[in-house]
Amino acid sequence: MKKYASLLLFCAGLALAQPTATGTGGAAATVDALATRAAMEILAQGGNAVDAAVAAAAVLGVTEPYSCGIGGGGFMLVYLAKESRVVSIDHREVAPASFTPTVFNGPDGRPIPFAERVNSGLSVGVPGTVRGWEEALRRYGTLSLGRVLQPAIRVAQQGFTVDATFAAQTQANLERFRYFTSTRDLFLPGGSVPAVGSTFKNPDLARTYLLLASGGSRAFYTGPVAQAIVNTVNNPPVAPGVSANIRKGNVTLADLESYEARIRPPVQSSYRGYTIYGMGLPSSGGPTIALALNLLEGYNLSTLPRERALHLYLEASRLAFADRNAYMGDPEFVDAPLSGLLSKKYAEERRKAIGERAPEGAVRPGDPYPFQQDPSTPLRPQAQGTRREGESTTHLTVADKEDNIVSYTFTIESTGGNAMVVPGYGFLLNNELTDFDATVPHPNSPEAFKRPRSSMSPTLVFRDGKPVLALGSPGGATIITTVLQTLVNVLDFGLPIDQALAAPRLSQRNTQTTNVDGGFERTPEAQALAALGHRWAPLAEIGALTAIAFNPDGTLTAAAEPTRRGGGSAAVERPR
């Protein structure tokens, strides 16, 4: 059996360097070849999609440490084929018991500068990743945590080759990584950015994974690891001579030990005969995408000139973000009017706000309360812009031969998190609590034990009960528009998944300008849209999507970025 598994892994490895792979059996797509290899290795050993997803995620914690890891949290969407059921696992970070609505205000009552919030103990939410992995495996996997961590332990011990993306991200964090002794020692060996082509090892993280392999999540949320996290947050390991104002946090061992992952129902919506599942609150991704699609359903985008279809896409996104910014937050603290927001009748009314031209600034949120069974809530918020939100994060997509599917997004928020490595354990902490809104009161205001609103958008698409597409992306608030635009590209424009994924992206989030990448601002469509009042703010790249398409002929196509973030990696068990 081991020889057979090794042969399957070797065959799958032939396609690991490719961003697109089509075939049968299981499939995986991630931003990193070693993570994709780990997923395929676990599938070859008889594991299912959940097992393979956790294995890939653990490797990404080694090779993509500035985007994700056990110091953060995430959202996992799982399709259980035998039960024809979709479940979601919320392991978002949680504010500690000490948190108050004014925690990010200085003595004068004014907000603390954003850089001081990020590079501080104040920004650290209680990590949820380890508990989420264990819960996913216990409920829906077939292998133990110790078994699926083995590929990541190997990579951490043996090292990986530093690529241009890793080096560039390290360089971008050079100043703040030098603030902390533990971070400097790990990521700036010899005081310098690791050279492209060199081998980077993380023996401390390997030892931490070994502790988790033998002790499970208790080895993280109690004992020496938990104490080290508390010490790092409450007394940051500031290097001698640092003049930056590094603020202490207030996290306790009880905060860590009491952390729980949540099993939540997904957000379910329909679009042109497709059933779409997304992540629900506290992630705003699923509801915002569903609302935007409801708005777009009133137009036949496939028959319209492309610039007209893109105008409608941008304006639907603008309106959806206005509602998202106004109403959405942690459902354990906020009674968000989701039934009204996702009502098809509300979309009919809200659609009237889409004009022939782009508005000059932010638009007001709509009023979903008359479209709820209980319309009594009196809140009528004002228009708000989208907060600054970390654009790090990573996403992976896995399917197995039994048609189980995992769409998984997880993060440490900003690229490099809060820049603090837990001494002796090899992982960065998150700055997730900067995702709270500074406005008080607000559905996303800081509170003790609250989960900050997220944009993560793992998504699954079905037709007549059969899977069609699984996808997701990193990118802060642009995650929502990246997934939304990819859905439009596939479901409306009929693009194959690799072309839908590689196309230039447009991200309108209720702001005066629209972010674009891939040179879109130089296209004829951009010129036509500019005549309608659209203004462009080009970015080097938007998102880093991975997906699996389930083709009518029974094959699967796994797809990752061809160029964004240096290109991703896709593989199938039996290539076509």
CB 84 within 8 A of CB 95: no
Query: CB count, 10 Å around CB of 398?
Result: 35
Number of H helices, E strands in the chain: 21, 18
Contact 23, 573 (CB under 8 A): yes
Supply φ then ψ for residue 85, to 5 degrees: -135, 140
Copy the structure tokens of residue 286. 């699923």
And the tokens for 554?
């029974």
Set 20, 165, 183, 393: catalytic member: 393
Judged by DSSP in three states, 570 sits in strand
Say if CB 50 and CB 140 are below 8 A apart. Answer: yes
How many angstroms separate the most distant Cα atoms in the chain? Answer: 67
Cis peptide before 127 (omega within 30 of 0): no
Cβ(541)–Cβ(473) below 8 Å: no
Q: Which amino acid is at 309?
A: A
**Angle (nearest 5°) at CA 397 between 392 and 398:** 145
Helix (H, G, I), strand (E, B) or coil at 253: helix
Rg (CA), the chain: 22
What does the alpha-carbon distance between residue 263 and residue 372 come to, in Å, rounded to a whole number?
25
Give yes or no: 161 in active site: no
Residue listed under structure tokens 């899977």: 467
Rounded to whole angstroms, the Cα distance separating 551 from 533 reads 39
List, by residue number, the catalytic residues: 393
